[in-house]
Amino acid sequence: MALMTGEQYIESIRKIPMEIYMFGKKVENPVDDPILRPSLNSVRMTYDLAQMPEYQDLMTVISPETGERINRFTHIHRSTDDLMKKVKMQRLCGQKTASCFQRCVGMDAFNAEYSTTFECDKKYGTNYHENFKKFLDYSQKNDLTVDGAMTDPKGDRSKAPHQQDDPDMYLRVVERREDGVVVRGAKAHQTGIINSHEVIVMPTIAMGPDDKDYAISFAIPMDTKGLFMIIGRQSCDTRKMENTTMDVGNSEFGGVEALTIFDDVFVPNDRIFLNGETEFAGMLVERFAGYHRQSYGGCKVGVGDVLIGAAAVAADYNGAARASHVKDKLIEMTHLNETLYACGIACSAEGTPTESGNYIIDLLLANVCKQNVTRFPYEIVRLAEDIAGGIMVTAPSEADFRDSKIGPIVDKYLKGVSEVTTENRLRILRLVENLALGTAAVGYRTESMHGAGSPQAQRIMIARQGNLAHKKVLAKAIAHIEE
């Protein structure tokens, strides 16, 4: 089974006995929980789109490993065309869900692991690349959703992993056995992990020789003993429990994050992709970060398309669409959004092959892409809020709108243009609220800042990759300077 249907995916997750906690209680049925289900639906869309003939070229690809058609989210990039189609696929998924669809991290981890394990094996004679290829084959053949876990809690940021007062602030090996290792620690901000079949764990920073126990990478199933998740709060999250659709804004799709705990988890040898080779921890982090920063030139752009559309509809419903300043704001939003997309495509088009044969993006341009993502979505949100008006956050609830006594009053006084119902006006305003401030903002506005590394992380990489020395040589040549 190389391609699952959306319904098959849902049922496959239902069968996994995950240990999940939310609001101080264990979640017994996460698949049907009203707060968690929209995030599952977003992942389902990546399966549904892969079944549609019109999207086959973007969503699927013939795997060089298996010879079968697979979902592109499990693919190893073999060309710049692959890299560009990845970005286009992510934009499409963002357009269809207006949320985080959660499979990007696993895809980016696949590609970072593929080349890093190859180069580690070449230096040390380890067997990590074969381990990883076996896991990749399993993931492709079963069309698995695989989460990527990189971000550690970090504790005191001024101290290296081995220097922490609490050594568990970075995930680490606590026992080495003949048949594998036992790990302990946590990974934070894990988007979509409760909707995954497997999780790939990676180091979070470059490491020195004293951090050997922290230089660990592996994959395990989501029902592994000792693995459990604590769901993070989101603004407006309990609206999903009110059995309404209007107030949620985006009632069908969403994202969810979790603090993921590894409580003395056993990892067998054939699932280990790095184990103490500290100099390759930095390579893995840098390559994963590059791929994931490229990703934001697709997924955030797709969600941005929906937000721009929602702002334009709000302007129509408010009777303000002809105002020159509104037109100008929509132009500016489009300009910013397409600039993000241009960076995603550019770093893909400038990609190059690694020693292992898979392609990596241009790291400088990928970091420029993500640096722009830390800024432009905030301005797009600001302009959307400006166009929508304050009523998007002060409107009465859907319960008030449906009430027999006060509903007609809400209907009367919150109407916009005469040919549009008050309900439709409120629905589009709540969608803007959701994307700008509500649950979807986690996967758009705030994630644009901190996802794939916070702004300073990109600036460090831009400094490394910017080749300032070469630029000085160019300037001196033009100025006819001889030293």
Residue ranges of the binding site for FAD: 191
Does 447 qualify as catalytic in the annotation? yes
Alpha carbon distance 219, 273 (integer Å): 8
Q: Which of 93, 104, 343, 369 is catalytic?
A: 104
DSSP 16: S
Does 170 qualify as catalytic in the annotation? no
Does 55 qualify as catalytic in the annotation? no
Q: Please list the residues that pair with 60 across neighbouring strands.
A: 71
The answer to whether 135 and 65 are in contact (CB under 8 A) is no
Q: Cβ–Cβ contacts within 10 Å for residue 3, how many?
A: 15
Percentages of the chain per state (helix, strand, coil), in multiples of 5 = 55, 15, 30
Listed as own residue / partner, the contacts of 69-72 with beta carbons closer than 8 Å and 24 or more positions apart are 69/2, 69/3, 70/2, 70/3, 70/140, 70/143, 71/3, 71/46, 71/47, 71/143, 72/107
Listed as own residue / partner, the contacts of 419-428 with beta carbons closer than 8 Å and 24 or more positions apart are 420/316, 420/317, 423/246, 424/317, 425/314, 425/317, 425/318, 426/246, 426/395, 426/398, 426/401, 427/246, 428/310, 428/313, 428/314, 428/317
DSSP 76: P
Alpha carbon distance 392, 430 (integer Å): 6
Alpha carbon distance 483, 480 (integer Å): 10
Does 214 qualify as catalytic in the annotation? no
Q: Which of 19, 257, 277, 398 is catalytic?
A: 257
Alpha carbon distance 217, 267 (integer Å): 10
Q: Which of 114, 170, 296, 359 is catalytic?
A: 296
Residue 278 C-alpha from the chain's centroid = 26
Does 100 qualify as catalytic in the annotation? yes
What amino acid occupies position 75? H
Q: Which of 120, 260, 292, 347 is catalytic?
A: 292
Does 60 qualify as catalytic in the annotation? no
Per residue, what are the HEC states of 126-139? Answer: CCHHHHHHHHHHHH
Output Rg (C-alpha) for the chain, integer angstroms: 23
Does 114 qualify as catalytic in the annotation? no
Q: Which of 120, 299, 347, 369 is catalytic?
A: 299
**Token digits of residue 282:** 């930095």
Q: Which of 100, 343, 347, 369 is catalytic?
A: 100
Binding residues, as ranges, are 191
Does 296 qualify as catalytic in the annotation? yes
Alpha carbon distance 428, 443 (integer Å): 19
Q: Which of 97, 126, 145, 191 is catalytic?
A: 191
**DSSP assignment string, 167-205:** GGGS-EEEEEETTEEEEEEEE-S-TTGGG-SEEEE--SS
Crossing angle for the helix pair 37-50 and 80-97, to the nearest 10 degrees: 130
Pairing of β 198-201 and β 258-268 = unpaired
Q: Which residue has the tokens 């996802």?
A: 451
Annotated catalytic residues are 100, 104, 191, 257, 292, 296, 299, 447
